[in-house]
């Protein structure tokens, strides 16, 4: 059993309140969770309205599958948000 973990930082310059940020985060987390069957949540910087830091974790049978899941999740997030991904940290355990 392999565990894939990602921490993604996204800059969202158009967000001007925590309420707007919450709507973006909730929508994105729901889409990713439903499509890829992974756990996802906002893990840091909850009080900064223009920075979203998401943690994603999923399980796979081998490292190739884990890498594939990570790549697909990152590509999906890039294509489904207007924000700019500024940092990605990957770890396969």
Place of tokens 């909850």: 46
Q: In total, how many domains does the chain have?
A: 1
Instruction: Report whether 44 contacts 62 (CB < 8 A).
Output: no
pLDDT score of 27: 94
**What is the pLDDT, as a whole number, of residue 56?**
97
When pLDDT is cut at 50, 70 and 90, the band that residue 76 belongs to is very high
Cα 93-80-76 angle, rounded to 5 deg: 35
**What is residue 51's predicted lDDT score, i.e. its pLDDT?**
96
pLDDT tens column, 5-60: 999 999 999 999 999 999 999 999 999 999 999 999 999 989 998 999 999 999 99
Q: Nearest Cα to 25, choosing from 41, 45, 11, 8? A: 41
Query: Residue 10: how many CB atoms within 10 A of its CB?
Result: 22
Whole-structure pTM value: 0.90
Domain hosting 48: range is 2-92
Place of tokens 């930082």: 9
Q: Which CATH number belongs to the domain containing residue 32 in this structure?
A: 3.30.70.1120
């Amino acid at each position: 059993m392999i565990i894939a973990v990602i921490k993604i930082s996204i800059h969202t310059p158009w967000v001007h309140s925590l309420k707007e940020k919450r709507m973006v985060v909730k929508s994105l987390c729901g889409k990713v969770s439903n499509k890829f069957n992974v756990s996802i949540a906002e893990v840091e910087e909850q009080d900064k309205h223009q920075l979203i830091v998401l943690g994603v974790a999923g399980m796979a049978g081998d490292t190739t599958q884990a890498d594939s899941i990570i790549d697909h999740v990152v590509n999906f997030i890039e294509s489904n948000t207007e924000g700019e991904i500024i940092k990605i940290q990957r770890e396969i355990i």
